[in-house]
Structure 1
Amino acid sequence: MSGDALVFYSPVDDANDWREALSAELPDLDIRVDPDVGDPADIRYALVWLPPKGFFHRFPNLKLVTNLGAGVDALVRRDDLVPVQFSRLSDTGMISMMTSYIVYTVTRYARDMHIFERAKRRGEWEYVHPRPLSSISVGVLGLGELGSPAAAMLAKMGYDVSGWSRSEKSIEGVRSLTGRAGLETILAESEILVSLLPHTLDLDGVLGADELALMPHGAKFINASRAAIVDEAALIAALNSGAIAEATLDVFSVEPLPSDHPYWQLENVFITPHMASVTVPALAARDVAESIRRVRAGKPPLHEIDPARGY
């Protein structure tokens, strides 16, 4: 209806899929796909992923911004937003995808699949005797909406799992650590380290050269959160020296990853194109619609975030 419209923007998501899913939940919602926004004054809601600089300046009556994903760093510390409410997606499909990615990448190292992959390319039969999962220590940095289920699943599989977060968490089978001392402990003890941290100001570059040097020699590192969490130059140096034996990286400071980037030349780096977890419109539209209903009724949206904290 006029005066109560939603604008959709994403460089990677299918607008038609979202239009269909949202229309099934809210038939009265006027859905407009950028740049065809009509009268900008009609826009009350925005469903976006990585909106460009200045994107929101056009919409003076905006009430709710929903992020097409769990990471909201592209929506905080902006100068083009009037005071609005923020929410992020948290659908079961996205959580399942991230959990499956973490289980796969951790298990790929735990079961030495990276060694067998290289042996296959050489045409050699190389046997490595399997180790019990309980003997493999896995550290999960970030125990939020995505990190907690992943850590819990790894623990259920039998891994020795520890997690680090801002506040202490209670997750069956997972030791919870906090603070600087907790970070140093989990770095020093983790044979496989997984980052699912949000990108906030206090976590920018939290894994620098000093922190990476705390990890056991030959440790493995998996980053499915944000590239800015880790000092890229320090990570490349550690990978070249063997201090960190292997890395699986799904996020990068520039995407797509440039063809001349050093990561491409490192045999011990497994690269995935920022696809560890994606949103499934048919599952997530229900939450988006409910947030809009709540805002219409003067209530907070689902999965509301605090821009000051960044999550």
Structure 2
Amino acid sequence: MVLLVTPPVLGTMEQWRDGLKSLMPELEIRLWPNIGDPADIHYILIGRFDLNDMPSLPNLRALMPMFAGLDHLLYHPKCPPVAILRTGEPKGDKAMTEYAVMHVLRHHRRMQEYQNQQKNQKWEVLDQKQPHEQTIGFMGFGQMAASPARILVKMGFDVSAWVRNERKEDSVKLYFGKKEYLNFLRRTNILVCLLPLTKSTKHILSADTFKELPRGASIINLGRGGHLVEEDLIKYLDNNHLSGATLDATLPEPLPKESQLWKHDKITIMPHVARRVRPESVGPQVIENIRRDISGLPFLWQVDREAGY
């Protein structure tokens, strides 16, 4: 069994190889583009890699993306028909958790407004809600969203989440499917998007969503740039229905210098830095699935291609 490592999001391929080898010394690991015999490759760990460059790999068994977003794999015409396995930490990504909580707190404490006041040399104390008065809504409640949502509950915030299918959850109030979407939006003052990008979630951050939020609500997009309709966001910020937005993902990336998003005083732009993927966070899941496959056990954390996540 051979694992092929492609150029990573962070670090070097050699660092990733060494980190994975420390968990499974007997595993043969090859580094792109030195793949040797293509028939030897059973698994690929995918970072910054274009599937158009991938040769035919007749014995490939699984793709393991380093990143959380899967749209550019799932909808790529050359994506091989094998298992796609999530590699994020099962209990939630620590970097995403701290990042999501940080930006929720920034909006809760009205930091964008204070920063704009500083630019204008204006000293004014703004009204401030208490945590139990602040309603936070997560779009999605998977690995990435569940951890920050539960932490915010412990901090005293009123937290809910909107999900596709019904399930049980003790600490966070869940809203289900289309039938409860509007109720979810209408009670949400800080909206956090952590949805996968699928055909059904593309452009979900649009006027149809914004108009249902309470006046003064804010948006945090930690998903994908394709979730957002930029023109609608600008419109609802300019008419003061929305008070602010944080965008960790844009379309395209990098954001062009001429984009109107850069200079809008109610928008914070971040260069897609929510997660900092490293061998020590991804490696255990990669190795566990390889060991399971060698033992004849089914893969864990397999992506549902039809659902898109």
Please, what TM-score do these two structures have when normalized by structure 2?
0.93
- Contact 1:10–1:50 (8 Å) recurs in 2: yes
Deviation at 1:310, TM superposition (A): 1.2
Partner of 2:9: 12
Partner of 1:86: 84
Change (3 A) 1:10 1:242: farther
Partner of 1:183: 181
- Contact 1:93–1:280 (8 Å) recurs in 2: no
Partner of 2:25: 27
Q: 2:236 aligns with which of 222, 228, 238?
A: 238
Deviation at 1:291, TM superposition (A): 0.7
2:125 maps to a residue whose letter is Y
Does residue 254 in structure 1 map to residue 252 in structure 2? yes
Q: Number of residues paired by the alignment?
A: 308
Partner of 1:108: 106
Instruction: Indicate the SS of the match to 2:243.
Output: strand
Partner of 1:157: 155
Distance (whole Å) between structure 2 residues aligned to residue 166 and residue 180 of structure 1 = 8
Deviation at 1:176, TM superposition (A): 0.6
For 1:210-259, what per-residue CA distance to the aligned partner results, in whole angstroms no more than 9, with x for missing partners?
Answer: 22211122210000011222222222222233222200000111111111
Instruction: Indicate the SS of the match to 2:290.
Output: helix
Change (3 A) 1:93 1:10: farther
- Contact 1:136–1:191 (8 Å) recurs in 2: yes
Deviation at 1:92, TM superposition (A): 6.4
Partner of 2:44: 46
Greater Cα offset, 171-180 or 49-58:
49-58
1:260 maps to a residue whose letter is E
- Contact 2:92–2:147 (8 Å) recurs in 1: no
**What is the RMSD of the two structures over their aligned residues, measured on CA atoms?**
1.9
Partner of 2:171: 173
- Contact 1:72–1:310 (8 Å) recurs in 2: yes
Distance (whole Å) between structure 2 residues aligned to residue 245 and residue 115 of structure 1 = 9
- Contact 1:239–1:246 (8 Å) recurs in 2: yes
Q: What is the correspondence of 1:67-146 to structure 2 with a 5 Å cutoff?
A: 67-91=65-89, 95-146=93-144
Distance (whole Å) between structure 1 residues aligned to residue 143 and residue 198 of structure 2 = 16
Greater Cα offset, 181-190 or 250-259:
181-190
Distance (whole Å) between structure 1 residues aligned to residue 146 and residue 91 of structure 2 = 15
- Contact 1:21–1:281 (8 Å) recurs in 2: yes
Gaps spanning 5+ residues in structure 2: where?
Answer: none
Deviation at 1:49, TM superposition (A): 2.7
Distance (whole Å) between structure 2 residues aligned to residue 180 and residue 257 of structure 1 = 32
Partner of 2:221: 223
- Contact 1:72–1:88 (8 Å) recurs in 2: no
Distance (whole Å) between structure 2 residues aligned to residue 249 and residue 100 of structure 1 = 16
Q: 2:210 aligns with which of 209, 212, 220?
A: 212
Gaps spanning 5+ residues in structure 1: where?
Answer: none
Instruction: Indicate the SS of the match to 1:264.
Output: coil
Partner of 2:294: 296
Distance (whole Å) between structure 1 residues aligned to residue 90 and residue 42 of structure 2 = 26
Please, what TM-score do these two structures have when normalized by structure 1?
0.92
2:29 maps to a residue whose letter is I
For 1:127-185, what per-residue CA distance to the aligned partner results, in whole angstroms no more than 9, with x for missing partners?
Answer: 12432111111111100111111211111111111110012343333211012232111
Instruction: Indicate the SS of the match to 1:203.
Output: coil
Instruction: Indicate the SS of the match to 2:101.
Output: helix
- Contact 2:2–2:43 (8 Å) recurs in 1: yes
Deviation at 1:272, TM superposition (A): 1.1
Instruction: Indicate the SS of the match to 1:88.
Output: coil
2:251 maps to a residue whose letter is S
Greater Cα offset, 145-154 or 46-55:
46-55
Deviation at 1:93, TM superposition (A): 8.8
Deviation at 1:40, TM superposition (A): 2.1
Distance (whole Å) between structure 2 residues aligned to residue 180 and residue 260 of structure 1 = 36
Instruction: Indicate the SS of the match to 1:202.
Output: coil
- Contact 2:134–2:189 (8 Å) recurs in 1: yes
Deviation at 1:80, TM superposition (A): 2.1
Deviation at 1:196, TM superposition (A): 0.6
Distance (whole Å) between structure 2 residues aligned to residue 7 and residue 52 of structure 1 = 14
Deviation at 1:104, TM superposition (A): 0.8
